[in-house]
Chains A and B, each alone.
Chain A
Amino acid sequence: MNALHIKKGSSRKSAYDLKNPLGDIVETHTLAVIVDNEAGVLARVIGLFSGRGYNIDSLTVAETDHEGHRSRITIVTTGTPAVIEQIKAQLGRLVPVHDVHDLTVEGRAVERELAMIKVAGTGDKRVEAMRLADIFRANVVDSTLESFVFEITGTSEKVDAFIDLMRPLGLTDIARTGVAAMARGT
């Protein structure tokens, strides 16, 4: 026991070395995962993230190829470079996963998110909300005398900015789709 310098009877050593060996700078990556559109495939992907302790900042999924039964899952995730590599490798070995694209690495990608934002109010606030919506090129998709529902499309940052502006003007409800992304060029 001498080599160890553990005091006999000491219980400060845990069974596992809890220090994170991959500790490093955290990055945000957007992944496009092409999967077979079969039962449980989303649960597999989400279960992988929760089971291995990875982060999901945003997730969108829909069938993109009806005849080929393919869906595209767009995931925005954060982690150290080593964790991001692990996430891609772990996704890649799921049986229904065909392809994993790291759009952040593969070159500048176009990223868009759609949001619907309900703003209630009358008078100046209503006019101001309408004016700002115009600047942001948000469309009015529903209107009453006391409310608007705006539809806005853009980067997550643009949507965030619009929501922040609407907050003092009577914002009551938000629905966001999460990010859809695609690599530029061919």
Chain B
Amino acid sequence: MARKMTGAQMVVQALKDQGVDTVFGYPGGAVLPIYDEIFQQNEIKHILVRHEQGATHAAEGYARSTGKPGVVLVTSGPGATNAVTGMTDALMDSIPMVVLSGQVPTFLIGNDAFQEADTVGITRPCTKHNWLVKDTEKLSETIHQAFHVATSGRPGPVLVDIPKDVQFADGTYKGKPDTNTSHYQPRTKGDADAILAAVEALEKAKRPIIYSGGGVINSGTHASAALRALTDGTGFPITSTLMGLGAYPASGKSWLGMLGMHGTYEANMAMHGCDYMLCVGARFDDRITGRVDAFSPNSFKVHIDIDPSSINKIIHVDVPIVGDTGSVLEDILTLWKERGSKTNSEGIAKWWQQIAEWKKVDCLRYNASKTTIKPQYALQRLEALTKKYDRYITTEVGQHQMWAAQFLGFEDPHRWMTSGGLGTMGYGFPASIGVQIAHPDSLVINVAGEASWLMNMQEMGTAVQYNLPVKQFILNNERLGMVRQWQQLLHGERYSHSWSESLPDFVKLADAFGAKGILCTDPADLDDAIMEMITYDGPVIFDCLVEKHENCFPMIPSGKAHNDMLLGEASTDGAITGAGGALV
């Protein structure tokens, strides 16, 4: 259906045709024609953020909690450069996102015009693909292609840079069905021979483990369903990366907890000692593997990934399967059942006995306190008091993020939004806004550290403007906790700039923005305070003053193997002495 319209009208029409209901953005000179079109319609809701980075993270939160692409609209120059962090974050964590940026008019490009930046040049390495559209005739098709690329294969962020004169000019609108996307069609179906090899080895495995990742979440709920069926059918233990939490339920009988640098003892020991590893939609990141040459030395490794470049990148695997995790898991499950649902049950029973021994280590234990709120305790109470709610959790980056991963249980996919690959402080708050927009009636909590939270605190304005009841659960240790922990363990307790000398009064800050602030300092008050936060209808900043020098354990220091973990309190006792102890 070809229709004449302006470029700006095409943008809005293309978004409608793509089923977009929400755009996160910030206006500016080079996108004014598009904003004018947005003003004249009601189908697409525009959320005005307070900083473009906030828009990108909000779009990520929206995308991660719905499975649909997040859409961002920013202006040229600083608008686009401010969006770079969010695009890089989305690229690292494979989040589908479409960023539309304004650009100076085509005849000014290259002239160092006001608010001009080489946006496609700057964003080339931090997007899956990007386009500069110089001709209105090509605009609608490009936007449809952008959505196709963002959501096909391994998802990721894309950017379409649209000069202002292209927005004003008339052209022919091409609909979604008329758009040629034929050449970008990543393979989704796994190779049958490889799947057979994976199943044959699976049937014989004595010490198997399933290591799942964000690829299972990205593939959709059918992938999580297949993962659960395979795990429960085989009785194999399962662990997951930070990105994959929720694909298999935390209450499931085969769940070992998260693996990796701050993963559980049993998960990491099982990874090290297994003889069969089924890696599903994970990428052997350095936070996962520890020392590469000592990584799971005696296992037969099967790797399912939609991105061929993830396979054999870091760890050599025996059976690579390129394909969509959902499709491949379903094929594996079908074939395994056809062949009689065989497992080495005797070997696996022994393996579970060994795992039970490891579990006895109780690696997440910590020294409780009656006077100070321990961050782990705060999260245990948050878990207990919010579990029955329709709950979504986002986090910032640091110790609190790892504790949240350890102490909160996720029963379903798309419930856990965190910055894994890039580790972006400031991610969680805007992400919680994006989640709340997508799920207006759900309980959305951002587990934060005070330092991370301050990085995008301007988004309080957004939360209040749209009356989004996001709960900012700040574990306030007045420190850059993870930096401090590393300085303690690795840099002679020289706490170089890991301490905020002046922090705001968060209750007054909430008040200033027109939100509610809650301060909690005593473990005895914690439950009531959390309930007050949950039941309040509106955004809340919860300032939870926690133990200042708590360390996050277990920990595999970089360059160490999985069976070389730092465990708990024994190593923190007396660890803070001298100059470190003098810090307040």
- Give chain A's interface residues, CB within 8 Å of chain B: 1-4, 6, 8-11, 13-17, 19, 21, 36, 39-40, 43-44, 47, 51, 82, 85-86, 89-90, 92-96, 98
Q: Which A residues are CB-close (under 8 A) to B149? A: 95
Determine if B307 and A21 form an interchain contact, defined as CB atoms under 8 angstroms apart.
no
Q: Mark B277-295, 1 if CB is under 8 A from A, else 0.
A: 0000000001000011100
**CB–CB A95/B291 < 8 A:** no
**254-298 of chain B: CB within 8 A of chain A:** 286, 291-293
Binary contact readout B296-309 vs A (1 if CB under 8 angstroms, 0 otherwise): 00000000000111
Please give, as numbers and ranges, the residues of chain A lying within 8 Å of B567 by CB-CB distance. Answer: 3
Interface-central residue, A17, A39, A94, A95, by most chain B CB under 10 Å: A95
List B118-153 residues whose CB lies under 8 Å from chain A: 120-121, 124-125, 128-130, 132, 149, 153
User: Smallest CB-CB separation from A16: which chain B residue?
Assistant: B558
A-binding segment of B56-64, B231-239, B490-498, B531-539: B490-498
Please give me the residue from chain A that is nearest to B322 by CB atom: A89
Known: A21-B314, A82-B312, A95-B184. A16 touches B124 (CB 8 A): no
Q: Which chain B residue lies CB-closest to A13?
A: B490
Task: Give residues of chain B (542-567) contacting chain A, Cβ–Cβ below 8 Å.
Answer: 557-560, 564-567
Partner of B292, one of A9, A14, A17, A94: A17
Shortest distance in angstroms between A4's beta carbon and chain B's nearest beta carbon? 6
A17, A21, A51: the one contacting B558 at CB < 8 Å is: A17
Given known A-B contacts A2-B571, A44-B124, A89 and B311 have beta carbons under 8 A apart: yes
* A86 x B558 contact (CB < 8 A): no
- With A11-B492, A17-B292, A86-B313 known as contacts, the answer to whether A93 contacts B566 (CB < 8 A) is no
Query: Are the CB atoms of A21 and B559 closer together than 8 Å?
Result: no
User: By the criterion CB–CB under 8 Å, are B308 and A92 in contact?
Assistant: yes
Q: Identify which of B129, B154, B291, B575 contacts A8 (C-beta below 8 A).
A: B575
CB atoms of B492 and A3 under 8 A apart: no
Is chain A's binding surface mostly helix, strand, loop or mixed?
A: loop
Known contacts being A16-B286, A17-B291, A21-B292, is A3 close to B125, with CB within 8 Å? no
Q: How far is the CB of B83 from chain A (nearest CB, A)?
A: 18
A3 touches B564 (CB 8 A): yes
Contacts of B455 in A (CB 8 A): none
**CB pair B308 A93 closer than 8 Å:** yes
Q: Does B388 contact A (CB under 8 A)?
A: no
**Contacts known (A13-B558, A86-B309, A95-B128); A4 close to B564, Cβ less than 8 A:** yes
Q: Which of A9, A11, A93, A98 contacts B309 (CB 8 A)?
A: A93
- B493 with A9: CB separation less than 8 A: yes
Query: Is B183 on the interface with A (CB-CB < 8 A)?
Result: yes
The interface size bin for chain B is 35 or more
Report 26 cross-chain contacts, Cβ distance below 8 Å, ordered by A residue: A2-B570, A3-B565, A4-B560, A4-B566, A8-B489, A8-B575, A9-B492, A10-B492, A13-B558, A17-B292, A17-B558, A17-B559, A19-B293, A21-B314, A40-B132, A44-B124, A47-B125, A82-B312, A89-B309, A89-B311, A90-B309, A92-B309, A93-B153, A93-B154, A93-B186, A96-B129
Smallest CB-CB separation from B134: which chain A residue?
A39
Cα–Cα, bound, A134→B490 (Å): 67
* Cα-based distance from A83 to B121 in the complex (angstroms): 26
A residues near B153, Cβ cutoff 8 Å: 93
B124 and A6 within 8 A (CB): no
A-side contacts of B557, CB under 8 Å: 4, 6, 13
Interchain CB contact under 8 A, B565 and A10: no
A6: chain B residues at CB < 8 Å are: 489-490, 557
CB distance from B63 to the nearest CB of A (A): 19
Pick from A1, A39, A98: contact of B489, CB under 8 Å: A1
B315 — nearest CB in chain A belongs to which residue? A21
A29 to B567, CA, bound (A): 47
Chain A residue nearest to B149 (CB atoms) is: A95
B residues less than 8 Å from A8 (CB atoms): 489, 492, 575
Residues of B near A11 (CB, < 8 A) are 490-492
Q: Which residues of A contact B186 (CB under 8 A)?
A: 93
Name the residue on B nearest A83 (C-beta). Answer: B313
- Compute how far the CA of A7 lies from the CA of B113 in the bound complex, rounded to whole angstroms: 56
A3 with B286, Cβ < 8 A, contacts A17-B292, A21-B293, A44-B124 known: no
Query: Which B residue sits closest to A89, measured CB to CB?
Result: B309
By a CB distance below 8 angstroms, the chain A residues around B125 are 47, 51
**Cα–Cα, bound, A40→B124 (Å):** 9
Chain A residues in 8 Å Cβ range of B312: 82, 85-86
Task: Knowing A8-B575, A95-B184 are in contact, say whether A3-B128 is a contact too (CB < 8 A).
Answer: no
Contacts of B154 in A (CB 8 A): 93
Chain B residues with CB below 8 A from A93, complex form: 153-154, 186, 307-309
Task: Digitize B306-327: 1 where CB-to-A-CB distance is under 8 Å, 0 elsewhere.
Answer: 0111011110100000000000
Contacts of B559 in A (CB 8 A): 13-14, 16-17
Which residues of chain B are near A36, meaning CB under 8 Å?
Answer: 183
| B480 CB, nearest partner CB in chain A, Å | 15
- Further 14 A-B residue pairs, CB within 8 A, beyond A39-B132, A82-B316, A95-B149: A4-B560, A11-B490, A11-B491, A17-B558, A17-B559, A19-B292, A40-B121, A40-B124, A85-B312, A86-B309, A86-B313, A92-B308, A93-B309, A95-B128
Which residue on chain B has the smallest CB distance to residue A38? Answer: B131
Chain A nearest Cβ from B130, distance in angstroms: 8
A85 to B120, CA, bound (A): 28
Q: Are B286 and A40 in contact (CB under 8 A)?
A: no
A23 to chain B, nearest CB (A): 10
**CB atoms of B571 and A43 under 8 A apart:** no
Chain A residues contacting B570 (CB-CB under 8 Å) are: 2
User: Quick check: B311 and A47 within 8 Å, CB to CB?
Assistant: no
Contact at A95–B565, with CB atoms within 8 Å?
no
Min CB gap B361→A, angstroms: 12
Shortest distance in angstroms between A21's beta carbon and chain B's nearest beta carbon? 4
Pick from B121, B129, B493, B558: contact of A43, CB below 8 A.
Answer: B121
Whether the pair B558, A14 counts as a contact (CB closer than 8 A) is yes
Query: Using Cβ atoms and an 8 Å threshold, which residues of chain A touch B132?
Result: 39-40
A90–B570 CA distance with the chains assembled, in angstroms: 45
B97 vs chain A, min Cβ distance (A): 15
User: Is there an interface contact between B309 and A3, defined as CB atoms closer than 8 Å?
Assistant: no
State whether A89 and B308 are in contact (beta carbons under 8 Å apart), knowing that A8-B575, A13-B558, A40-B120 are contacts in the complex: yes
